[in-house]
Amino acid sequence: ASNISFGLPDRDLVNHAFLAMAISSGVTCPTVDAAKVHPAVLSIDLILGRDRFAQRYMRDFRQRNNQKQF
C-alpha cells in the first residue's frame, strides 16, 4: 500500500509512475514490495540508461516467462 495513491482506483499504475519519478530524481533505496515492483524498476533502469544492452531487463523477462510455463 502507498500513501501517494490512497483511495484512488488502479493504485498500482499511480505507484509505478511515482516510483519512476522518484528513481529518476535520485532515489536509490525505496521501501517497496520488491517482488511486485521489480519489473517496473528494471524498466525504469532500462529507460534511464542504467541497464546496458538491456541485459538485466531481458534476463528477468526470460525468468518470469520460464516460470509461467511450469
The alpha carbon torsion through 16, 20, 21, 22 (nearest 10 deg) reads 90
In total, the chain counts a number of residues equal to: 70
pLDDT top residue among 70 and 15? 15
Query: Which cell numbers hold the place of 23?
Result: 528513481
Host domain of residue 54: 11-69
Give pTM, 2 decimals.
0.73
| Domain-embedded: residue 2 | no
Q: What integer is the mean pLDDT of 17-31?
A: 92
| Domain-embedded: residue 54 | yes
| Domain-embedded: residue 25 | yes
| Domain-embedded: residue 1 | no
Domains held by the chain: number:
1
With cell 528477468, the residue in question is 60
Helix (H, G, I), strand (E, B) or coil at 16: helix
What integer pLDDT is reported at residue 21 of this predicted model? 93
| Domain-embedded: residue 29 | yes
Given phi > 0 = left and psi -120 to 50 = alpha, else beta, which region is 44? alpha
